[in-house]
A and B are shown apart, each in its own frame.
Chain A
């Protein structure tokens, strides 16, 4: 058997309490051991949070010896004695003045035997433990008798100091039910707007504050001040000088937001595809990809795009028809019932609902939601600076909504299969939109934003493709309606003077007829012919998502770093240069490279001073452009005059769109959720910030330094910083799980605070000018293990607490009256009621626990011994009675 010891020094003494002064001992020849001082120090009475030995003996420093294996407790008294005497010898030999305790019996009984030595005084620490208190121990008078009996031999009437504490427990909170339920989709379905869908829930599932303990204390008075016997007691809590309150909070409280997030993360851990989860009916056209590509070109020319309506089977009026029913597979036995699926899809794609959707997307997407200062004015969101760096996607955009909805799906709509089902439907919808050239809503406009998540980039890409496609189809349809081939209409934006120039130039043979002009380039004229220089329509470069860009960069990298690599790279990148040169040549048929450079790279054209503005300028290309065989010259030589719209497309929207759709379809729900992790976390953080109370709260003491002593808002900042960091790395579910646990910690704190506020302030919690005192009380209750109520039993704080007790009593009396409910009183209350003690029944009810502390300083074991400290402590609980004694004896003069 190995022994270990815990040394608890100055256990949890309130920080402002000075160390017990030792001055008064200084003159004495022999200083008493610290343990004995502690025993008599009234500062140590009724500590708020401490080891039981601190509570029972007032000790601040001690050693415990416990069995290393809690399943093999010390059961035999002889073994305990043996251990204790070995400890005594050890203490003697080492001159150790710290009391030593041996834990005996089962650990949950908390039975200790102990001994303390030093300065010629030996103290025995002893205790008894019963389920029921013996009758004479249920009141002060009886306990005093027991105490005095123990010391009787030497002094007839030792002066005994008494401290008493009665504790009242409030477990029922009438009409302040503080629980949150997850949104019930069946119930809300019928309601307008389906509003819960877009919100992450928040709060505790059951009341995070289970009990309020109120203690009335009579600290350190002489025994004759208080009367408390089996027939009469003047221990009325209303007359106690000190009232303290403490909260008992349930540990590991489940909270909605963090549970949702955790369930979401759980889905992330799955790596199956949709069809692996839901069966072959839900196969996307992933494998038909090649056929898809080859038919894609045909599709361009076909007037009516082959719709997937056979598969999708949805009915739409134009592009904005009502969603009548979704995919054919979504029957009765699909994971998400159709009547729930439709509102979800309408929430994600509100434009499908018609012209006046119930939940339209915001017009622009931002990183943080709107924030109003307490005075109602718009202000900066407290997380704005941090979240602006988050690689996520805009608040309440499609990706955001998808993340939030999937949290609901993961938690309450069936988990993984439901997530797979929803994703399947979303992919069908996206496919439908591409096929019918309908833009995807809730996505930032423009080319893929590399600072957003890959999923958002993919959606942006799809929109780019849809836009290009629309533009292309529009121009080709306008062309076909204009059979004569008079493409002049196309460029009606051209400057007026273009026409004139055209005319003045007389007839031009059709092969070098200028094409694809936008407008004149300032006053520039071509070097050779002195014609105006026109800016051509050009192809825009191909937008790319970050994964494609990475691939592209990878290819460039692989070309190596030598001169040849650079050459090849330049050649690869010259496609857009070639395209621009061809467009330029088409718009300016008689241009030379110098003309192109003057438009395209003016710094490489060195013009001679003082040339006539109406004459072609004199000048030359920069040295680097003049080098024979340089890339620019080479490309220029190869460029044919072809206007942009007849060139090979640099950006093949069909191919790109198919690739995006393929990428999306190959994501299983698990990988989808992985990609949504930053956004789900982002949404959770914003949800936390919505609870304004958070910003008033202290950091919970359960969080270690340096967060301790700071505010809960700083904790939120730390979590947010971590989330921002994680969002820039490949998703790691374990790290997000840790983050979810930290979010849970904050959520519990806020939920707890809400509960306390609600209880203490009641309806005043909502009123503006709610009492400053009570607000402070709420914060102090949350922040410290025990709070003394200012003003004692008559103070404003006590008043609020009293009211709670009164309400609870009223409620329980009501219950008592109803005959069918007579079991409603908690068991222990009744058993206490039976214990027969007269204990003052006040407005607070009967005390749940009573503690009596008696101590004195008398010579022992003989009248000639030195006066030594003795201390007895009794605690009476409904089903427990414990009497602990620390009796000392002078070992020198015995």
Chain B
């Protein structure tokens, strides 16, 4: 893909408790593989991928963070400037779902923008013993104005979709990815002055 065709580069974050499958989801999305040998992430890792959504080609720089508590002092520094976030929980582990509030808090504290687009992903739906129902996930997502999908990094269910919908939403959100080059919502003082002069110089009787 030629560089000039790329609309913009977006920074996407993947966060969530350790072991929920963040790195696996990313690997599935970028390389379409599932690596059982994926080791626990240390600090942050990242991958890039170019995708086309609604005819717009965007480059994604996706930052995969470690979910381990101990890294939590380190990873939020990389939240900065992200336009989108994928928040992952493990449908077979209730406590990873219960921790979502904490992650949202973390996001609010450290991401430098408030209009960041959020996608909630319930991972590992290929597994038998499901502890978090689809409805619970959906309800949580609704309450926090997030997109929602259930997925499996192992079977590739929903993975592509999760990233595409997120990107679609970001591209549609004005002001999230462009620079302030158009004077939107502002007004020009000078033009109007000229106008006024035209009338003012004539207008008053005295």
Interface residues of A (CB under 8 A from B): 12, 46, 49-52, 55, 110, 167, 169, 213, 248, 251, 389, 391, 450-451, 540-541, 544, 546, 549, 553, 556-557, 561, 566, 569-570, 572-574, 576-577, 580, 600-601, 603-604, 622-625, 627, 630-632, 702-704, 707, 718-719, 721-722, 725-726, 728-729, 735, 738, 741-742, 745, 785, 848-849, 851, 875, 877
B→A interface (CB under 8 Å): 17-19, 30, 36-48, 61, 68-71, 73-74, 77-78, 80, 110, 112-114, 175, 179-180, 183, 185-193, 196, 199-200, 202-206
* Contact between B77 and A450, CB atoms less than 8 A apart: yes
> Do A50 and B42 touch (CB < 8 A)?
no
Query: Do B180 and A546 touch (CB < 8 A)?
Result: no
B39 near A627 with CB under 8 A, answer: yes
A822 shortest CB reach to chain B, Å: 25
Tell me the nearest residue of chain B to A55, going by C-beta: B205
Residues A49 and B42 in contact in the complex (CB < 8 Å), given A248-B204, A450-B112, A722-B185: no
- B193:A702 contact, CB within 8 angstroms: yes
Given contacts A574-B42, A719-B186, 16 further A-B contacts (CB under 8 A): A49-B200, A51-B203, A450-B110, A570-B45, A573-B42, A577-B42, A601-B69, A632-B40, A632-B42, A702-B189, A702-B192, A703-B189, A704-B188, A704-B192, A742-B186, A785-B203
Residues of A contacting B46 in the complex (Cβ-Cβ under 8 angstroms): 556-557, 561, 569
Q: Is the CB of B80 within 8 A of A729?
A: no
Complex Cα spacing A169 to B80, Å: 61
Which residues in B have their C-beta under 8 angstroms from that of A848?
206
A-B contact count (CB 8 A): 144
Q: Check A561–B47 contact: CB distance below 8 A.
A: yes
Quick check: B202 and A540 within 8 Å, CB to CB? no
Task: Please list 29 pairs of residues, one from A and one from B, whose beta carbons are closer than 8 Å in the complex, sorted by A's number.
Answer: A49-B200, A52-B202, A55-B205, A167-B206, A213-B206, A251-B200, A389-B114, A450-B112, A540-B73, A549-B78, A561-B47, A566-B45, A570-B45, A573-B43, A574-B42, A576-B71, A603-B17, A622-B19, A623-B36, A624-B40, A631-B39, A631-B42, A702-B192, A704-B188, A718-B185, A718-B186, A718-B187, A729-B179, A742-B187
- A211 CB to closest chain B CB, in angstroms? 8
Tell me the minimal C-beta distance from A369 to chain B in angstroms: 21
- B203: chain A residues at CB < 8 Å are 49-52, 785
B61 partner, pick from A46, A450, A557, A735, beta carbons under 8 A: A557
CB distance from A886 to the nearest CB of B (A): 18
**Smallest CB separation, A564 vs chain B (Å):** 12
Instruction: Say whether B77 contacts A544, CB under 8 Å.
Output: yes
Task: Find out whether the CB atom of A632 lies under 8 angstroms from the CB atom of B187.
Answer: no
Check if A627 sits within 8 Å of B37, measured CB to CB. yes
User: Chain B contacts of A55 at CB under 8 A?
Assistant: 205
In the complex, A630 Cα to B40 Cα: how many Å? 9
* Cβ A601 vs Cβ B206 within 8 A: no
The interface residues of chain B lying within 8 Å CB-to-CB of A12 are 199
A842 to B135, CA, bound (A): 83
Q: Which residues of A contact B40 (CB under 8 A)?
A: 601, 604, 624-625, 632
Which residues of B sit under 8 angstroms from A213, Cβ to Cβ? 206
Q: Let me know if B37 and A573 touch, CB within 8 A.
A: no
Q: Are the CB atoms of A851 and B205 closer together than 8 Å?
A: yes
A604 and B45 contact, CB distance less than 8 A: no
**Contact residues in B for A604 (Cβ distance below 8 Å):** 18-19, 40
User: Which residues does chain B contribute within 8 Å of A248, judged by CB atoms?
Assistant: 204
Chain B nearest Cβ from A295, distance in angstroms: 30
